[in-house]
Chains A and B, each alone.
Chain A
Amino acid sequence: MGKVNISFTINGSSHQIDVEPQWTLLEMVREQLHLTGTKEGCGTGDCGACSMIVDGRLITSCCMLAPQADGSDVTTVEGLLANGDLHPVQQAFIETGGVQCGFCTPGMIMATKALLDRTPKPTLDDIREGLAGNLCRCTGYTKIYEAVMTASGQEI
């Protein structure tokens, strides 16, 4: 069973690597590229902790095979910092208390970014729909709703 040679861009930098075919995109990014910001919560696509943006779409990287990322443009939570500055979504999550244990946070922040890319001024309903694939067990979501409103420049 041979490794698969793939090329892709992650957080703006290009890579060409050999990857085990049965590895998921999540495993490749964490174990091979040592980007451990993205978390595995369930391994079955039911919690959203492993969310990344691939070719502009939010996906759960625990159920995408790594070789299928060939030719893709991948963004993980590590890719949101610009010259070391926090992304407005990251800043808003800190300020509003949308972060507690922090384990769902990278995925939640990627889902928020994907939502705001699509809908820059979301309503509460938009937010509740857009983040429904990301479970948070700590916050009860209230402060996450506030974080998304803040990040999109809206009054809470």
Chain B
Amino acid sequence: MRTFNFYAPTALDEALELLRKTDGGRPIAGGTDLVVQMKEAATKFPHPSSIISLLLIPELNGIEFDESTGLRIGATSTMSDIADSADIREHYPSIAEGAGIVGSIQTMNMATVGGNLCNGAPSADTAPPFLVHDAEFVITGPNGRRSLPADEFFVGPGETALAPNELLVEVRVPAPADRSGSAYVRHTPRKQMDIAVVGVAAAVTLTNDDRIENIRIALGAVAPTPVRATKTETFLSGQPASDESFAEAAETAAAECNPISDVRGSAEFRRHLVGTLTKRMLERAANRARGG
């Protein structure tokens, strides 16, 4: 790995100032993606002259949940922090499931949610869960603070809506409605220590007569970015939460996604998995919504 200047600011303003001053400086948190990319000279950007560690900035830490305002996850929260959080496991199970399957235990102890999202991988395991929970990404930068809905954050493979020298501060997730549930699963050749061939998250809110009042489905690794399956969502709205509608939804999702073939799987295989996993996640999310 080539050398660089290293900074470890302890305040957010200081970090932003460093990003501005060090032309081409890059933020780092857990390092599980960035360090590996730098070692292999495989970053999507030129080798950084400076690396700015975000781990000592208190404002980026912490997970808080409130029944009315919802969830706040600081950008440097690790995957383990998220997967182990009792609040997240109870109220946002798909987020815990996504965070709890990233790489190895070691990876989960190091990798942060900010890194997982800002790396912009189409296969990022926390992205589909945040998409289905209507998360907002809070960003700060030279032009102040702004907030983006999750589905506007991902722009392309390795690309996000972050402008130069902007940082992700936190993810905010609204409190889930009553009778709602969510779930995430991915397919990988190995049971752990792997990258999603396909990831599917679903979140449903059911009416008292078991119809779908609100539905979100998001897919990972089947497009240049994590994406919502909007046609499938439209189809399911107002439908009964039944095997039949879930089976049809699975077919719709498989039809509307647009995967590529690569070393991890063919487009055909991915499309098939989208169908299978969409059905399973709808069932699991609906069961959770029913209190199961």
**Which A residues are within 8 Å of any B CB, using their own CB?**
1-2, 4, 20-22, 24, 43-46, 48, 51, 57-60, 63-65, 67-68, 70, 111, 114, 129-130, 132-134
Alpha-carbon distance A134/B107, docked complex (angstroms):
11
Instruction: Kindly state whether residue B35 has any CB partner on chain A within 8 Å.
Output: yes
**Which residues from chain B contact A64 at a C-beta distance below 8 Å?**
30-31, 35, 110
**Which residues from chain B contact A134 at a C-beta distance below 8 Å?**
104
Alpha-carbon distance A105/B104, docked complex (angstroms):
17
Q: Which B residues, 1 to 37, have Cβ-Cβ distances below 8 Å to chain A?
A: 1-6, 8, 28, 30-32, 35-36
Total inter-chain residue pairs, C-beta < 8 Å: 88
Give which listed residue, A21, A48, A67, contacts B106 with CB less than 8 A: A48
Known A-B contacts A4-B6, A21-B5; the reply to A133 vs B107 at CB < 8 A is: yes
CB<8 Å pairs between A and B, sample of 9: A1-B4, A21-B5, A44-B39, A58-B105, A63-B35, A64-B30, A65-B35, A68-B31, A133-B106
Known A-B contacts A58-B109, A59-B110; the reply to A45 vs B3 at CB < 8 A is: no
CB distance A21 to B6 under 8 Å? yes
Chain B residue with the shortest CB-CB distance to A71: B56
CB distance B193 to A67 under 8 Å? no
Shortest Cβ distance from residue A117 to the other chain B in the assembled complex, whole angstroms: 12
* Residue of B31, B32, B53, B106 most packed against chain A (CB within 10 A): B106
**Which B residues are within 8 Å of any A CB, using their own CB?**
1-6, 8, 28, 30-32, 35-36, 38-40, 51, 53, 55, 80, 103-107, 109-110, 191-193
**Which residues from chain B contact A21 at a C-beta distance below 8 Å?**
3-6, 51
CB distance B31 to A22 under 8 Å? no
Alpha-carbon distance A4/B204, docked complex (angstroms):
50
Chain B residue with the shortest CB-CB distance to A53: B109
Known A-B contacts A21-B6, A48-B104; the reply to A60 vs B193 at CB < 8 A is: no
